[in-house]
Amino acid sequence: MIDPDGYRPNVAIVLMNNDRRVFWAQRSNNDGWQFPQGGMHTDETPLEAMYRELREETGLTPDLVELIGSTPGWLRYRLPRRYRRHYSKPLCIGQKQVWFLLRFLGSESSFSLDSCDEPEFCTYKWVDFWYPVENVVMFKRSVYQKALSLLEPMANSHNSTS
């Protein structure tokens, strides 16, 4: 599903533990690291897509997380030309995302990175909240910066009341 402006609707997940560290995962098909994310189906809300992607990419179910908040509206990033599928119509020039901040309630044994046919991630680690901005692929850095800037007050507020 591509919108009229060429953006694919997508959700992104910032999973935070009680130490305010975030889940950072290595992609299975290359050496890149990122937050869980994925495209929305035409019949899904962003919240429904988020829970589906969470289950597919991490094996976590809704009872193992607490929804803290989300970004207001869509955040967009453009794909470099070399990553665009020029043979596909309509042409996807980037992604528009709703970002969700979740608190992880489970134990490390709750994760199952191979719970789907084609696992997205091969390993993960917990990193400082801002670490991903400097360590994600270059073309995603500005959207990571914007998303974490919007989510940080929610994380701070949540930590002070937990």
- 8, amino acid identity: R
Query: pTM (2 decimals)?
Result: 0.93
- The tokens describing 145, both together, are 């910066």
Give the pLDDT of residue 152: 97
Higher-confidence position of 157 and 103: 103
Work out the average pLDDT over 52-68: 97
pLDDT for 85? 77
CATH class for the domain made up of 7-161: alpha beta
Q: What pLDDT, on the 0 to 100 scale, is given for residue 81? A: 83
- Domain ranges in the chain are 7-161
- State residue 160's pLDDT score: 52
